Chains A and B, each alone.
Chain A
Amino acid sequence: MLEILGLEKRFGDTWALRDLSFEVREGEVFGFVGSNGAGKTTTMRIAMGVLAPDRGEVRWAGAPLGFAARQRFGYMPEERGLYPTMRLGEQLQYLARLHGLRQEDARRSAELWLERLGLLERAGDEVQVLSHGNQQRAQLAAALVFSPAALILDEPFAGLDPVAVDVMSGVLREQAQQGVPVLFSSHQLELVERLCDRVGIIRGGQMVAVGTVAELAKDGGERLWVDVGSDESAWAFGIPGVSVLRQEGTRTLLALDGGSDDQAVLRAAIRQGPVREFRRDVPPLSELFRNAVSEEVAR
């Protein structure tokens, strides 16, 4: 398990991270979301030893993360990092060897990942002549070529076409199934919601929410969609602990405070007319994220 514990980092007078803690479990895909400048990249750079924290620590398998353990981590930086004039195949072999693979194993592994990511025919090309999408795939191959113990990927899906997104999603899920903890950041919230086991929302260098999307939604209180065939929501007024969030045609979205009785809502709805819809609402991650960001803006 990868643990981020109480990280703090300042750049001059600006706090980049404040007491940031979360963990990524074995076999888990963890989505790391936040606005630009929220601290995602700084967190990942600290985890990879690129930056040193002012306080806090990163732990791996219960022990402080050192160079030897970090050498087995696969990493995709935010701004892609490969030698532009080096041939792709040779570059992957070189990276595999730097991470400890023998020459022959490095060659086999490079070939395997190039084939898996559809780049085998480009093995002899310099990285700089590859398209953006192929460079992205190459970067993923570079992170995977030595069979990493953990994956830390900063915006791996940025700029990918839908097919490439599917390929990369498949690879990440596959790695997680093999027990590899996968931490990645993204602004593509639908993708994060679909792909991740758990999500962490970071705001102003602090983690404001961590859990499955369902757990995050529950933290915001229970919500119900009710359709009583009326385009007015006055019927819901006065139900204790219930507030109307919005009206869409004949459907009303209600927010229930913790402890309020959904059966009381159902009875009130029946009194209004025939109930065509009565279901629990799970807000999408994008909405949860916007709520978190709007709190930041409000501040």
Chain B
Amino acid sequence: MSRLGTIWLVAGRELKERMRSRATRVVTLLMPVLVFLLIAIPALVHAPASATTLGLVGRPAQALRADIQAAAKATGVEMRLRNVASTSSAKRQLGQGRIDVALALRGSSAVVTVPGSVGYFETQTLAPRIQAILQATVNVWHEQRVLLGAGVPIPVLRSALTPVPLSVKTLKPPPKDMVARDVAALAAAFLLYMTLALYGNAVVAGVAQEKTSRMAEVLVAAVRATDLLIGKVLGIGLFAFGQMLLTVAAAFVANAVFQNTAIPGTVWTLLPSILLWFLLGYVLYAFAYAVGGALVGRQEDVQTIAAPFMVPLIAGFMLTYLAIAEPTNAAVRILSFLPPLAPILMPARLALGPVAPWQVALAVLLTLLAIWGEVRLAARVYALALVHSGPRLTWRAALRLHRG
């Protein structure tokens, strides 16, 4: 069998064994479901309020229809207007939920009626924005009545009561989708941090099981240690990639269904970037994790050996907050080129805004170089440590093995 065939066979076993595990199957299904719910629940809880239906009671109130519509449009409030013949009819319709608010004008006074308690849990009082619209319209109606009574000519009256448009100028307009970008950056960093830690631990556990069960001793006669290492990393990686694609797909489906967040255009370009950096990050971390797994003496050592890898992963995730707070921060920019941090920080930066192509290329190049050096060292240390019996090896002892 060719070496490529052997690597593929090892990877296939990893993939198959992982999918055979009931716990893994449950997690694979749960992760997309959880992400879907995480997006769906806030969307359902904070569902945008439906249009307010205002009942205009009697002819005087109905005469304000055009003014109320104009005020609602100006303030961006969706409002439906319905003519109601009498106060009693208005009360009935409020009770039936056919209208939300009723406006009646009597003499010089205006009366607004709302249902108040609706059922045990729900209350329906006058929303501040609706109140502001009605107040402004009633004020104008009142001024018109007073000024007309004082004999002010109608053209003068119209001119005086026509609102002056307020022009707002912003010196540094923030991007329209700034919040969405921040959320995307944080989500990307979190997703990468979680998946790299999760699958890195899967690699450590897999290698440790091979070592502690002495399977490694049987395998090294049949498979070159390098091929075994690559096959294992590839198999777990393929599984991880599949799980991640499912999760990301669930997020997009949920977003499309519930439309709770306007997906910024950068996210569509961010998706391939997340996948690329997951791939680079996974390879970078998985080989280091695999060597870690080969150092264990007992299965219980797995957590201890995996702990140091969490430091750069957590650092990368925490620095994302700094990047969000200060997108131009020089330290974050420089750190985003460094291989252990780049897989989390660079996609986060890409989510926050445009990054010069040379910067992305440099980060990719540095990560690839780190992977190249790491794989060369890892293959040798892995081969020696994997069949080393006795207590857990320290990293220093493992490197001594390497030097011979």
Contact = CB atoms under 8 A, between A and B. Distances in A.
Contact of A82 (B1, B215, B220): B215
A45 B217 contact: yes
Contacts of B219: 81, 98
Contacts of A82: 213, 215, 218
A86 B206 CA distance: 12
B215 A49 contact: no
Interface in A9-58: 45, 48-51
Contacts of A48: 217, 220-221
Contact of B9 (A73, A79, A83, A98): A98
B376 interface: no
A180 to B, nearest CB: 16
B222 A95 contact: yes
Nearest to B404: A52
Interface size band for B: 20 to 34
Contact of A50 (B209, B213, B220): B220
A207 interface: no
Nearest to A77: B217
Contacts of A50: 217, 220-221, 387
A84 B210 CA distance: 9
A145 B215 CA distance: 16
A77 B17 contact: no
B213 A83 contact: yes
A100 B214 contact: no
B213 A84 contact: yes
A186 to B, nearest CB: 19
A43 to B, nearest CB: 14
B12 to A, nearest CB: 9
Contact of A83 (B209, B222, B387): B209
B155 to A, nearest CB: 90
Interface size band for A: 20 to 34
Interface in B301-347: none
Contact of B221 (A75, A85, A97, A100): A75
Contacts of B6: 98
B216 interface: yes
A77 B220 contact: no
B129 interface: no
Contact of B220 (A49, A80, A86): A49
B218 A81 contact: yes
A49 B1 contact: no
A77 B214 contact: yes
Interface in A57-75: 67, 70-71, 73, 75
Q: Of residues B6, B213, B218, which shows the largest number of chain A Cβ atoms within 10 Å of its Cβ?
A: B218
B221 A70 contact: yes
Given A50-B217, A75-B218, A77-B217, A94 B13 contact: yes
Contacts of B222: 71, 95, 98-99
A81 B214 contact: yes
B9 A94 contact: yes
B80 interface: no
Nearest to A51: B387
A142 interface: yes
A81 B387 contact: no
Contacts of B216: 81
Contacts of A49: 220-221
Q: Of residues A71, A81, A82, A86, which shows the largest number of chain B Cβ atoms within 10 Å of its Cβ?
A: A81
Contact of B218 (A70, A85, A86, A95): A95
B17 A86 contact: yes
B208 to A, nearest CB: 12
Q: Of residues B1, B9, B21, B222, which shows the largest number of chain A Cβ atoms within 10 Å of its Cβ?
A: B222
Nearest to B13: A94
Interface of A: 45, 48-51, 67, 70-71, 73, 75, 77, 79-86, 94-95, 97-100, 142
Given A48-B217, A85-B21, 20 more contacts: A49-B221, A51-B387, A70-B221, A71-B221, A73-B221, A75-B217, A75-B218, A77-B214, A77-B217, A77-B218, A79-B214, A79-B217, A81-B213, A81-B219, A82-B215, A83-B17, A86-B13, A94-B9, A97-B1, A142-B218
User: Lowest 5 CB-CB distances: which A-B pairs, in order?
Assistant: A81-B214, A81-B218, A98-B222, A77-B217, A81-B215
